Structure 1
Amino acid sequence: MNLVIDIGNTRVKYSVCTQNEVVKTVSVDAFSPALLRTIKQEYEGLESAILSSVKDYPDELKVALTKQFDTFIELNATTPLPVENCYESKETLGKDRIAAIVGAFDLYEKTNVLVIDAGTAITYDLLTAEGQYLGGNISPGLEMRFRALNQFTGKLPKVEKGVVKELIGKTTEQAIRAGVQHGIVFEVDHAITSFKENYNNLKVIMTGGDAEFFDKKLKNSFFVHFNLTSIGLNRILQHNGESK
């Protein structure tokens, strides 16, 4: 069995996987060597691990992973992948983005796929039917847009997402909520339409913490896969085992 660790901007998600599927996924505030020991005790069959992190993490965690697993991979720009990475600045490519692309490849091989990760930022990434990752776009996420209006202006309040029934807000709070939420829906819908015009039979996958926000709000259809990054990391781990 495999342990997959995904350290994001705000949360850490770890998954226990077989070679072909995600068995269990847990979200925590932080991942420590103590937690690692607990997981190893609970799942005695864990032999391989992979870690993806979008930020720095303690050296002692890497040491613990190296010691406690027969195979440990720290995902980086040189890690062999089952897809062709055509991104020019591979060193700056978010590891969560490439992992999600590999997850899409695992689920929908030989298909044009647009992966939309709605989290701290919204990322749009394209995988071709030929297994090439071409790149994508990065845009502010929902919470970031609300926060930016508050932080970069003198008087606009910090507003939380909520139900928006009207196109036009009649108070400042309503106007901010309508502007942010309608705006992000318009953006995502238009992005999907534009990608569909350029890539035939495009399948759209949504993942990330705000994926559910877009349910029944978009004109375009999409599939939600919350474990997409974990699926991708597990596939990368499996691919590297096959490459040895």
Structure 2
Amino acid sequence: MLQAIYNNLRIKSILLNLIIDIGNTKIKASLFRDGKLIDTKTSEQTDTDFALDILADFTIEHAIVSSVREFPEELMRLLTSKIEKVFFFDAQLPVPIENLYESKNTLGYDRLAACIGAYAKNPGQNILVIDAGTAITFDFINNKGQYLGGCISPGLSMRYKALHHFTKKLPQLSQQDDFYLIGKNTNEAITGGVQNGIVFEVDSYIAKLKEEYADLKVVLTGGDASFLHQHIVNNSDYEPNILAIGLHHILEFNASESANN
């Protein structure tokens, strides 16, 4: 059934929107049709080769590119030569919320886009978006659709690496399914310290913010979000595609504005 849906999307008369998110090591493409996420592809190819493969299979009407690296000039030239409207997500691109962050040029665009995605799914709510990746970012958007900012903390793998790197004898470990409050050996002590530390930190952050926003909705995303979702005591929604959803809303907002001008 899924393969049939996928094959139908490859019919050239079907117009799709393309979201390209360029990370430090991988590139991710998300395809939307009628506002709904249809498919997601991840690759370690060059961004242009990856885009060429997608353009060979699908007809793209609009596209948006977000990148944590330098501006992808070759990719943008390729996309603009084949797609009606292509946008690059930077500090100058209009967004469908009010951004009150003071240093907009240094704001990670993934942080803002994730909040836009969360607010699009939960309009009129106070929302905390926690992106648990290399770093853990805490970002808040209020019920008026105003992005206020947040905090940045070391992520799970970074904490394990830091303990190993900055000490002489502690081993390099990684996430474990089982961890304890009282470790009975060095490995258990490290695992318990790192993983309990992150769980306590996240729960305490949420609890503190709820003192001011009692109706706070918590959205988890990122590579370690499923771990947090299992272990924090506060209620949360696990939304692995919230960044792509946010970028798509930014794309639709700008495509609509462009059409009206």
| TM-score bracket relative to the smaller structure | over 0.9
Q: Which residue in 2 is equivalent to 1:101?
A: 115
Which stretch shows the higher mean deviation, 135-144 or 194-203?
194-203
Q: Which residue in 2 is equivalent to 1:139?
A: 153
How far the C-alpha of 1:226 sits from its partner, in A, is 0.6
Q: Pick from 19, 23, 37 the counterpart of residue 4 of structure 1.
A: 19
Letter in 2 for 1:14: A
What are the residue-to-residue correspondences of 1:209-228 with 2, within 5 Å?
209-228=223-242
- Moved beyond 4 Å, runs of 4+: none
What are the residue-to-residue correspondences of 1:7-156 with 2, within 5 Å?
7-44=22-59, 46-56=60-70, 58-156=72-170
TM-score, normalization by structure 1: 0.95
User: Using the alignment, how far apart are the partners of 2:46 and 2:34 within structure 1?
Assistant: 23
Unaligned segments of structure 1, at least 5 residues: none
Unaligned segments of structure 2, at least 5 residues: 1-15
Q: CA deviation digits over 1:106-134, x for unaligned, max 9? A: 10111111000011110000011100000
Which stretch shows the higher mean deviation, 125-134 or 163-172?
163-172
Q: Secondary structure at the match of 2:227?
A: helix
User: Using the alignment, how far apart are the partners of 1:150 and 1:78 within structure 2?
Assistant: 40
User: Using the alignment, how far apart are the partners of 1:30 and 1:75 within structure 2?
Assistant: 21
Higher RCO (CA < 8 A, seq sep 6+): 1
Which stretch shows the higher mean deviation, 177-186 or 8-17?
8-17
Q: Secondary structure at the match of 1:155?
A: coil
Q: Is the 8 A contact 2:22 2:67 kept in 1?
A: yes
How far the C-alpha of 1:104 sits from its partner, in A, is 0.9
Sequence identity percentage: 46
Q: Secondary structure at the match of 2:230?
A: coil
Q: Is the 8 A contact 2:65 2:88 kept in 1?
A: yes
Q: CA deviation digits over 1:133-186, x for unaligned, max 9? A: 000000001001001111122221111111234211122121111100000000
